[in-house]
Amino acid sequence: KGGGRRLMMAKRKINSILPLVKSVGPWRDAASAAKRTLDVIAPASGDVIANVEMGTVEDVDKAVAVAKTQFPNWSSFTIKRRAQIMLKFHALVEANKDELVDLIVQENGKNRVEAAGDVAKGLETVEWACSMPQLAQGRHLTVSSGVTCHEIRDPVGVVASIVPFNFPFMVPFWTIPIALVAGNCVILKPSEKVPMTMSRAAEFLFKAGVPQGAFQMVQGDSEVASALCDHPDIAALTFVGSSRVADLVHARARNAGKKVIALGGAKNHLVSAPDRNLEMAASDIVASFAGCSGQRCMAASVLITIGEQPELVDLVVRKSASLKKGQEGGCVGPVIDEASRDKITRIITSAEADGAEVVLDGRSWASESGTWVGPTVLKLKPGMIDHEAIRTEIFGPVLCVIVAKDARQALEWENRDRHGNAACIYTQSGATADFFSRRFGAAMVGVNIGVPVPREPFSFGGMEGSASKYGEHDITGDGGMNFFTKVRKITTKWTTDPDAPPDAANFGGTM
């Protein structure tokens, strides 16, 4: 069905000259035609707005070869010099952010305020990376008489990042600035659904002073992703996407000997205690589940009320019903494509057929041009706690409401979720907040904050061993710096002190 729509739109645009979004690297001959392309479709209208070339295994091989050649040069820059380049990039993005916002609105569908937030959040990680000359300093200590130990951080080499469609600027810049300032050469595979934003951002990176080959992009689909996982000369790889694919990517790349962080999906639970602030909680719940059309891994999916709280549910429904369709600030934008829209409406219909009450129905938006789904609120019976609507990442503006008999049942239901990504407790009691914060199964916890994204310098990532994170590090902050570097521990002795007391733990030079 989706393929048919792409074909239909391509025929409608057959006489138009559409931009071709190409891979980026010294190996890419600008004059050569793409072997295979895909339509880039604006979610708000359904119009084809560009074509993106589909890269190949051979393209990945060429990009890696270039990166290996460039690595000795780029890694020889001091970390201060690389950070200065990133500062220049930050200034260029600030000066041209309206252009990037326009691209995000067009190809992703976000409203303008959300698109501006996408850019701002990406720049926060750039700012953190610019502080790495101070943060990456290794420890230095005299550990015994005449003996010192110190640490040196080295880049790991050629690294790759595979990123999703939902934040065309922010998610790529979770990894790019940290990896580059650390001295690595980066190969990015953007989402084929939103390639234009990063194509423009790449121009700013080069203008700021990143050498050709230190940063490259290979456009494409699963063929390119698989090649990046398998390539023996890529030392580390990051992935953000669904849990199913994150698990596959993690296993495949680890089998190829790589360091891997693969972030998966989420099913974030909000718990409302009876003493919550009604107005603050309701406004926050609506922003959490309907903001960015629910297409973010930190979006609320399930609201568990401790006991019946009809006044809260009614206020959430009223506020949600007042939201308008559109791409100006405060409006709900479209979802990314037909497949996403159809999945969302199918799960709503399935829940309704199985006994859920559709308190607010956004399926009527699905008949509009483009790919729209309006805010939807479902009330599920306690016996539906394992329903698909509760357990599956819907990735749309849908909130499932279910009533727990007490706090312990609410906690038990949240703990049953396998994703371990984010959770929130709404309360005015410090004791209640502490009880839930310490016992939630999620790694990122909010107290009266339904989108508890850790802001820099705190790092981003779900709970290890859950379906939201496959790997051993967070993807930003200290976690990202540790992932994109390797640490040498150097122990040195130049002289001995004959009067020093004996050190039984020092085996250097003794038997």
Say how far apart CA 186 and CA 176 lie, in whole Å: 7
Say how far apart CA 199 and CA 169 lie, in whole Å: 10
Give the list of residues 6+ apart from residue 76 with CB closer than 8 angstroms, or none.
Answer: none
Do the Cβ atoms of 360 and 321 come closer than 8 Å? yes
Exposure string (b/e) for 25-50, b if CB count within 10 Å is 16 or more? bebbeeeeebeebbbbbbbbbbbbbb
Do the Cβ atoms of 236 and 229 come closer than 8 Å? no
Does residue 297 carry a catalytic annotation?
yes
Instruction: Verify cis geometry, omega within 30 degrees of 0, for the bond prior to 172.
Output: no
Exposure string (b/e) for 424-449, b if CB count within 10 Å is 16 or more? bbbbeeeebbebbeebbbbbbbbebb
The token pair at 284 is: 């926050």
Q: Which of the following is catalytic: 130, 229, 297, 400?
A: 297
Do the Cβ atoms of 268 and 299 come closer than 8 Å? yes
Strand order in the sheet with 20-21: 20-21, 48-53, 37-41
Say how far apart CA 190 and CA 337 lie, in whole Å: 17
CA atoms within 13 A on the CB side of 81: 10
Question: How distant is the alpha carbon of residue 469 from its chain centre?
Answer: 11
What are the backbone dihedrals phi and psi of residue 164, each rounded to the nearest 5 degrees, phi first? -90, -175
The dihedral formed by the CA atoms of 96, 97, 102 and 107, expressed in degrees to the nearest 10: 110
Do the Cβ atoms of 445 and 452 come closer than 8 Å? yes
DSSP state of 237: E
Catalytic residues: 297
